[in-house]
Structure 1
Amino acid sequence: MATPRPSASPDESSAAPAAPAPLEGAPEGAPGTPDGLVDDPYGTYAALREHAPVRRVTGTDGNAAWLVTRYADVREALADPRLSLDKSHALPGNYQGFALPPALDANMMNMDPPDHTRIRRLVVKAFTPGRVERLRAPVRRAAAELLDAAEEAGRTGGVDLVAAYAAPLPIAVICDLLGVPAALRRDLRTWTDALVVPDPERPGRAKEAVGELLRYFTALLAEKRAAPGDDLLSDLIAARDEGDRLSEDELMSLAFLLLFAGYENVVQLIGTAVIGLLRHPAQLAAVRADPALLPGAVEEFMRHEGPALLAIRRFPLEDVTIAGVRVPRGETVLLSLGSAGRDPERFPDPDRLDITRDTSGHLALGHGIHHCLGAPLARLQTTIALDELLRRFPRLALAVPEEELRWRPSIRARGLLALPVTL
């Protein structure tokens, strides 16, 4: 039986926001970063889908890249084996990206089969539905404890829900899974934040954070070798040392990737889910009245405003044609997950948040062999985080006008820097 659709409220007009003026320049023209890609990504994507669905832009490294924005093209490209994740296939000087040392760079985000297949097979056991389900009670306990502290802090004023809840919850969960001691988790958050949100007043901070992460994981893996525990890192070390199926750099890089991806995306998803509900009171009332709607709502939050606007960059192994546009071998291809989720050809009335919509086929977690490994855990954490928060605080509200909220200045990641609320 279909779930009744929540009634619309005045804040939930089905009218989509007006798209910006048509973008100038043919797809084969000189590259440039379209205006609004940071400040108004979804309006800009709408214009791109209509006028230049495959367009050369200036990437974050200052070099040209091809931005793909239509759902059908993005989905097909995500599963196209001709589009490699291996940076060795980039033309010389075409891609510079953020420089990680080899010990952190040899991870699945930079690999094609067969290496990608080999490493993913070792890790996937940690994220089976059964193993993830066993984390349900620990995640709920962690959420309740964080909300206890937030409630106490909120007695004298507002609370930043990102700092007090959305960030510490996933870092606690992924660190428990990996076997990272609790005393060091705040440092890990600081280092990963430095990589994602560069500090313009400290241009060398990201490089310093990489060095600190490398030193930390080197020491942690040595400790795990000396005294293995019941955790994922100990299991991976055993696979490395006994079966020689992981190189030392692959082991180190995998630990870094699991921490970074397992923490960062969930932080942003919880934050955007909460602001999405606060913006839409009828939707908020519906999930309060029927928490069984939450799993479907989480899928809609991912489609509507997922944390990753772009998939990891690709490099064509040969000249390829995408939506009638020729993309030369070795050039950088950026696939817009954020735009695909708002494509009206796939999702009718896509700018409307509708927690009962059919979101099947959304690409927020990827598609094909690189589909997000930790997707079941991300869904579990977000669902529990929202359930605990909404049950606990029926008068949850923004503490500042919405226009004062600060979003990450990025074309790659969508997330709030802070979410001030009253509980």
Structure 2
Amino acid sequence: MTDRRQTPFVLDPNGRTLHAESAALRARGPVTKVLLPGGVEAWSVNSQAALERLLTDPRVSKDAHRHWPRFTSGGITPQWPLYAWVSTANMFTAFGDDHRRLRHLVAPAFTARRTAAMRPRIERIVDTALDGLPATTRDGVTDLRRHFAYPVPVRVITELMGVPEGAMTAGLRSCVDNLFTTSLGAEESAANHRDTYALLGELVELRARQPGDDLTSALIAAEEDDERLTRAEIVDTLLLVIAAGHETTVNLLDNACLALLTSPVQLDAVRNGRAGWDDVIEESLRRDAPVAHLPLRYAVEDIQVAGTTIAKGDAILASYAAAGRDPGRHGPTADDFDVTRAHKDHLAFGHGVHRCLGAPLARLEAAVALPSLFLRYPALALAAEPGTLEPVKSFISNGHARLPVTLI
């Protein structure tokens, strides 16, 4: 009998039924083959226990240049929609000593003190967005994703990076949106790759001439044991920062707002002090991981995971959305949004040595934005049936194309 885990499950590049797909993946087993855009096969790891184990296994690499034969043989080109996710040279794709070196150089830019110091700026950005919401209303409805969940993290991350207002900011926003759009054609993907690197290179040149109190300037100046980041490493690190610090927080705000607007009992629990905003944030991260599937990792040698052999050189897909709703970890109510849930442990920000350095910043943004929104607009209500909301066109990004609401 053929093991169905060996027959690839074809992932929808548009992510139209993401959670149904996640359930189907779990039904096939903790580890199962999937087919990515372009006919690329990978192993989806979708149970929380299996994913926790794999994310801390030293035999798992993120360096395609060293450990993915399909990449090193030239089978993966800039025309592939996920090329930027595997080709960069930063902490995200580094392995072993290279990863330790890069993380040590980059980590000072994300210290707890630097993150906490951003709170007044985040509060100002949130207040400005809230002030502007009434003007965005059309026929009594405003798109909360477009006018709140999206601009707040974008403004925070571009200010953090030292991106000047104007064409560069707009260009980077467009490039990152396309980075997460996994249904792009070959020519569009290649063009977006070129445009992204051109804009980030321009930013590095600007801050090399005009340094400031920003992340880009800090990366340029970073030094440890007489070693500095190369220009290519700085550009690739900035790509990681803007991608991770933008889309993930947008989706966190989007999903948390939707969960509260469709769960009056849960919102009441927060308003009456039976749960806190931190509970809202962690439960939203668990139930709706902002990144559904994260490409890619590679087996450095044969690895046995949950009874399945992942062969040396095979690609691995971390399926965070499926793991977050794993009944094996979260019980029969894993699909439910419950801010009073006793255990909200999740992998939404990764696990092990590659755990996201920007996680405290994302949590801080949500901790400021969510209570401010619901305090300012206590009658906020969803202006559509939940089942009619369209997802963003991506199997990586877990959010909605629009989030229509009424403010009063």
Query: What TM-score do you get using the length of structure 1 for normalisation?
Result: 0.87
Q: Distance in 2 between matches of 1:131 and 1:219?
A: 25
In the TM superposition, what whole-angstrom CA distance separates every residue of 1:11-38 from its partner, at most 9, and x where no partner exists? Answer: xxxxxxxxxxxxx962453323268993
Q: Paired residue for 1:237, among 216, 220, 238? A: 220
Note the 1:17-416 alignment, pairs <5 A.
26-27=3-4, 29-33=6-10, 38-87=15-64, 88-92=66-70, 96=76, 98-100=82-84, 105-154=88-137, 156-183=139-166, 184-197=168-181, 204-239=187-222, 243-290=226-273, 293-348=276-331, 349-416=333-400
Q: Distance in 1 between matches of 2:221 and 2:35?
A: 43
Q: Which runs of 5+ in 2 are unaligned?
A: none
Q: Is the 8 A contact 1:108 1:120 kept in 2?
A: yes
Q: Is the 8 A contact 1:198 1:205 kept in 2?
A: no
Q: Is the 8 A contact 1:49 1:69 kept in 2?
A: yes
Q: Distance in 2 between matches of 1:415 and 1:161?
A: 12
Q: 1:355, CA displacement in angstroms?
A: 0.8
C-alpha change, 1:222 and 1:409, in structure 2 (3 Å) is closer
The residue type equivalent to 2:366 in the other structure is T
* SS of residue paired to 1:65: strand
* SS of residue paired to 2:296: coil
Q: Distance in 1 between matches of 2:170 and 2:119?
A: 23
* Residues paired across the two proteins, number: 398
* SS of residue paired to 2:135: helix
In the TM superposition, what whole-angstrom CA distance separates every residue of 1:229-276 from its partner, at most 9, and x where no partner exists? Answer: 111111111126994421221111111211121111101111011111
Q: Distance in 2 between matches of 1:204 and 1:285?
A: 49
Q: Is the 8 A contact 2:36 2:42 kept in 1?
A: yes
C-alpha change, 1:363 and 1:352, in structure 2 (3 Å) is same
Q: Which runs of 5+ in 1 are unaligned?
A: 1-23
Q: 1:128, CA displacement in angstroms?
A: 2.1
- Alignment root-mean-square deviation, CA: 2.6
Q: Distance in 1 between matches of 2:336 and 2:5?
A: 32
* SS of residue paired to 2:330: coil
Q: 1:312, CA displacement in angstroms?
A: 3.4
Q: 1:46, CA displacement in angstroms?
A: 3.2
* Sequence identity percentage: 35
Q: 1:205, CA displacement in angstroms?
A: 3.2
Q: Distance in 2 between matches of 1:43 and 1:197?
A: 20
C-alpha change, 1:304 and 1:25, in structure 2 (3 Å) is farther
In the TM superposition, what whole-angstrom CA distance separates every residue of 1:123-155 from its partner, at most 9, and x where no partner exists? Answer: 222222222111112111111101111122227
In the TM superposition, what whole-angstrom CA distance separates every residue of 1:356-386 from its partner, at most 9, and x where no partner exists? Answer: 2234531111110000110000001112111
C-alpha change, 1:256 and 1:41, in structure 2 (3 Å) is closer
Q: Distance in 1 between matches of 2:117 and 2:290?
A: 25
* SS of residue paired to 1:314: strand
The residue type equivalent to 2:314 in the other structure is E
Query: What TM-score do you get using the length of structure 2 for normalisation?
Result: 0.90
Q: Is the 8 A contact 1:90 1:330 kept in 2?
A: yes
Q: Is the 8 A contact 1:199 1:205 kept in 2?
A: no
